[in-house]
């Protein structure tokens, strides 16, 4: 296992409302639960992106229950297939995503720009031969998720992205429910000993976080939320549409971040 960063103790402050070098450092090191950018995109921009994504249609993750639908590919799925197939499929998936963005707006470019404005470098991750990873799922989570983590050093150990030291995810919310589909984050980071609680393809027994502090948020269209996905987390089901754009952000040094899906 390429795990070199120990779990961090826990939150010492509440959520941040601005993306700065300081707030990113706090989030990477689990000092705060999330960063919430309330007006990252307009409702009109969000609706146009959903409309353009609808031209392609959504497909389910392989082997994931409850079902989650998405446009794009993930290392999570291809970890059970092959890296070569992932990178072979990444080019076409990136072309498709760029067409959606070209006819709406590009939230990845916008977020990378804000990270760079905060004083950190942000690029799409690449493998050793220079091939870029795919970055940017359009995703629908309406059936909820299991309690889980997303942390490449634990879950994708043979991939270049396993070399990151800390991992976040960003979600731009395009369509949401008024009062359902909340995200819940525990003040509890994964350690290798927690794998005894692993249950199925990606979920964990809730006992792994029993008694731990947690925080929840109800997303609104146009908001972008970033949180540390080494922390155990889950999403509630909703009867309404819940559409996001998302990817992972990994830290490879104090000044460098990489994006991938």
Q: Is there a domain that residue 61 lies in?
A: yes
Secondary structure letter of residue 218 according to DSSP:
-
Residues in the chain: 261
Q: Is there a domain that residue 254 lies in?
A: yes
* Rounded Cα distance, 21 and 28, in Å: 11
Q: Is there a domain that residue 155 lies in?
A: yes
Q: Which domain holds residue 83?
A: 21-260
Q: Is there a domain that residue 47 lies in?
A: yes
Is pLDDT at 4 greater than 70 in this prediction?
A: no
Q: Is there a domain that residue 95 lies in?
A: yes
* Rounded Cα distance, 169 and 211, in Å: 24
| pLDDT averaged over every residue in the chain | 96
Is pLDDT at 2 greater than 80 in this prediction?
A: no
Per-residue pLDDT tens digits for 88-143: 999 999 999 999 999 999 999 999 999 999 999 999 999 999 999 999 999 999 99
Cis check: omega of the bond before 212, within 30 degrees of 0? no
HSE-up of residue 81 (Cα within 13 Å, Cβ side) = 15
Q: Is there a domain that residue 140 lies in?
A: yes
Per-residue pLDDT, 201: 84
Q: Is there a domain that residue 112 lies in?
A: yes
Residue 209 Cα to chain centre, angstroms: 20
Looking up residue 28, the CATH number of its domain turns out to be 2.60.120.620
Tell me the percentage of the chain whose pLDDT exceeds 90. 93
Neighbours of 65 (CB within 10 A): 14
Q: Is there a domain that residue 228 lies in?
A: yes
- Note the pTM of the prediction, 2 decimals: 0.96
Is pLDDT at 79 greater than 70 in this prediction?
A: yes
Per-residue pLDDT tens digits for 179-235: 999 999 999 999 999 999 998 889 999 999 999 999 999 999 999 999 999 999 999
Q: Which of 247, 245, 243, 250 is nearest to 74 (CA)?
A: 247
């Amino acid at each position: 296992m390429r795990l070199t960063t120990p779990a961090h103790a826990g939150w010492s402050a509440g959520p941040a409302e601005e993306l700065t070098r300081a707030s990113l450092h706090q989030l990477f090191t689990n000092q705060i639960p999330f960063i919430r950018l309330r007006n990252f995109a307009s409702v009109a921009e969000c609706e146009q992106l959903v409309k353009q994504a609808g031209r392609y249609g959504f497909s389910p993750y392989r082997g994931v229950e409850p079902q989650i639908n998405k446009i794009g590919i993930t290392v999570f799925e291809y970890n059970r297939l092959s890296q070569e197939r992932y990178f072979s499929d990444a080019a076409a998936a990136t072309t498709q995503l760029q067409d959606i963005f070209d006819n709406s707006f590009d939230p990845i470019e916008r977020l990378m720009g804000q990270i760079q404005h905060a004083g950190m470098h942000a690029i799409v991750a690449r493998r050793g031969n220079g091939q870029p990873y795919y970055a940017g799922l359009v995703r629908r989570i309406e059936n909820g998720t299991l309690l889980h983590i997303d942390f490449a050093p634990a879950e994708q150990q043979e991939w270049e992205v396993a070399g990151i030291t800390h991992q976040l995810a960003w979600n731009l919310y395009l369509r949401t429910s008024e009062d359902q589909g909340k995200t819940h984050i525990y003040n509890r980071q994964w350690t290798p000993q927690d794998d005894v609680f692993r249950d199925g393809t990606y979920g964990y027994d809730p006992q792994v976080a029993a008694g731990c502090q947690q925080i929840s948020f109800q997303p609104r269209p146009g908001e972008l939320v970033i949180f540390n996905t080494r922390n155990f987390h889950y999403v509630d089901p909703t009867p309404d549409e819940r559409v996001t754009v998302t990817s992972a952000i990994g830290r490879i040094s104090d000044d460098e971040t990489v994006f991938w899906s």
